[in-house]
A and B are shown apart, each in its own frame.
Chain A
Amino acid sequence: MIKGIQILGILVSVYLILQTVLEYKKGNHGARRTIIWMGLWILIATLFAFPSLTLLALPILTMQDAMLSTVVIGLVIAYILMFQTYQHLSETERKLTKLVQNIAIHDYLEKATGNPENKQNE
């Protein structure tokens, strides 16, 4: 019988699955990225629906508590995602900086060619 936090977990997972599908339909995500995210949400939904599945991982993780192992695995996945997001943001910021500087320099050069810069400070 599914109850309490399990219902909430499944509902959140379903919402995230729908969001991922929508992003794919809008063309914001490629097929590969959609499959990875869908896989992750389905895994989370399954674990919420059948928490006893985590018992299978207990011997590998050398843990004795199903709940604790779920939390630990969840935290590890969250940190991986955070790190990936951070990397992605840094890369985007670097690209944006480069782009902005290139635009500024390009504009300057364009103006300087038409209007010699010597005149600008006279």
Chain B
Amino acid sequence: MTIWKRQPAIPRTSRMSNKPIYVFIPAYNEEENIEEVINGLKKLKMNIKTYVIDDGSTDRTAEKARKAGACVIGHPVNLGGGTAIRTAFAIALLNDAEYIVTLDGDGQHNTDELPMIIKEMRNGADLIIGSRFLKEQKHKMLPYRLLGIKFFSWLISKMVGIKITDATSGYRAYKMETVRKILSRLKENQYYGLETVVKMAQNRAYIKEVPVTSKKRIGGKSKKGVLNYGYNLMRVVVKNLK
């Protein structure tokens, strides 16, 4: 059951220039985790520019990110991860970035896996999704969350005709040339994960998943309520039905 017919996308291998890789970390009240995420990126010794999109945090997230050496872009009020990602896209376009990587500010993504994601990007993908379900994880997700993500990933797979196992993952790499084409159609303020996959697929983008490790939060707690999260993911799916 594919909701719309989709031509198979092919990888468009392009010679990667020596431009830096822009890494964007959307963060909201992540003062306990942000430094470790930035330090993890610094350890990689790669040509990386780290940006934290501080989405109206009321704690010391921005201050700590700045101290750790990242460039902080501040939203005056909290609007959600989707808006933060769109700001990231805008900044990346201003800098004429070729590729960007996004990862969450909660420290659950393993920064050591970034070179592998970039390597996959070099092979011509438009969107790389770091999937938490392609390899065995030490840190187990809450059962209802796991079920919800698997269900929505299955639903999105059926919609776009590509097998996606982790449609909500925030650990991603985007080719900016493709993002430029879909940017004006991105509207979701909070639940952007599904929307970007759908819009990318509609644009015949080459989407690939790579296995990534999911770590336990260092501190703080998730801001996603169960029912609210499920309802909003369904809302995004319905909204993006063609």
Pair A103/B49 contact, Cβ less than 8 Å: no
Q: Does B118 lie at the interface of the complex (its beta carbon under 8 Å from any beta carbon of A)?
A: no
A69-122 at interface with B (beta carbon < 8 Å) = 93, 96-97, 100-101, 103-105, 107-109, 117, 120-122
| B2 sits at the interface (CB 8 A) | no
Residues of B within 8 A of A117 (CB): 49, 71, 95
A interface SS class: helix
**B-contacting residues, A1-58, CB 8 Å:** none
Residues of B within 8 A of A101 (CB): 75, 83, 86-87, 90
A105-B79 contact, Cβ under 8 Å, with A120-B71, A121-B49: no
**CA of A75 to CA of B206, assembled, Å:** 49
Q: How far is the CA of A120 from the CA of B65 in the complex (A)?
A: 11
Total contacts A to B, CB within 8 angstroms?
A: 49
Minimal beta-carbon separation of B212 from chain A (angstroms): 23
Any A CB within 8 A of the CB of B161? no
* Cross-interface CB contact of B75 among A93, A100, A109, A122, cutoff 8 Å: A100
Chain A residue with the shortest CB-CB distance to B78: A100
> Does the CB pair A97–B83 fall under 8 Å?
yes
Which of B71, B73, B91 contacts A121 (CB under 8 A)?
B71
- Inter-chain CA distance A117–B20, complex, in Å, is 12
Given A117-B49, A121-B50: A104 and B74 within 8 A (CB)? yes
Interface size on B, residues (CB 8 A): 21
When C-beta atoms are compared, the residue in chain B nearest to A118 turns out to be B49
**Contact present for A104 and B73 (CB under 8 Å):** yes
Closest to B56 in A: A100
Q: Which residues of B, 57-76, contact A by the 8 Å Cβ criterion?
A: 69-71, 73-76
Closest to A94 in B: B187
- Residues in B with CB closer than 8 Å to A121 are 48-50, 69-71
> Across the interface, which residues of A come within 8 angstroms of B69, CB to CB?
120-122
Point out the residues of chain A lying under 8 angstroms from B73, CB to CB. 104-105, 107-108
- Chain B residues contacting A107 (CB-CB under 8 Å) are 73-74
A51 to B14, CA, bound (A): 75
- Is there a chain A Cβ closer than 8 Å to B77's Cβ? yes
Residue of B nearest to A93 (CB): B189
When the two chains form their complex, are residues B91 and A105 in contact, meaning their CB atoms are under 8 A apart? Answer: yes
Tell me, in angstroms, the Cα distance from A104 to B87 when the chains sit together.
8
Tell whether B94 is near chain A: CB-to-CB under 8 Å: yes
How far is it, in angstroms, between the C-alpha of A121 and the C-alpha of B22 when the chains are bound? 11
CB distance from B78 to the nearest CB of A (A): 9
A122 to B71, CA, bound (A): 10
Residue among B48, B77, B94 making CB contact with A109, cutoff 8 Å:
B94
14 A-B residue pairs with Cβ-Cβ distance under 8 Å, sorted by A, are A96-B77, A100-B75, A101-B75, A101-B83, A101-B87, A104-B74, A104-B87, A105-B73, A105-B91, A107-B73, A107-B74, A108-B73, A117-B71, A121-B48
B interface residue numbers (CB < 8 A to A): 48-50, 53, 69-71, 73-77, 79, 83, 86-87, 90-91, 94-95, 189
